[in-house]
Copies of this chain bind each other. A is one copy, B any other.
Amino acid sequence: MPNPTAAMLVIGDEILSGRTRDANMHYLAGQLTEAAIDLKEVRVISDDRAAIIAAVQALSGAYTHVFTSGGIGPTHDDITAECIAAAFDTPIDVRDDARALLQAHYDRSGQELNAARLRMARIPEGATLIDNPVSTAPGFTLRNVHVMAGVPSIFQAMVASILPNLTGGAPLLSRTLRVTRGEGDIAGPLGQFAADHSGLSVGSYPFIKDGLHGSNVVLRGTDAAELDSAMAKLSAILTA
Q: Which residues of A contact B (CB under 8 A)?
A: 12-22, 25-33, 39-47, 51, 73-78, 111, 114-117, 119-120, 134-135, 151, 153-154, 172, 174, 182-188, 190-191, 194-195, 201-208, 213, 215, 218, 220
Give the CA-CA distance A206 to B194 in the complex, in Å: 46
Determine how many copies of this chain the complex contains.
Answer: 2
Nearest CB of B to A202, in Å: 7
Given contacts A111-B182, A184-B74, A194-B76, contact A19 B116 (CB under 8 A): no
Q: Given contacts A115-B188, A208-B151, are A218 and B19 in contact (CB under 8 A)?
A: yes
A41 and B51 form a contact (CB under 8 A):
yes
B40 engages A46 (CB within 8 Å): yes
Residue of B nearest to A40 (CB): B46
Asked if residues A117 and B18 are in contact (CB atoms below 8 Å), the reply is: no
CA distance A151 to B114 in the complex (A): 48
CB neighbours of A75 from chain B (8 A): 183, 186-187, 190-191, 204, 215
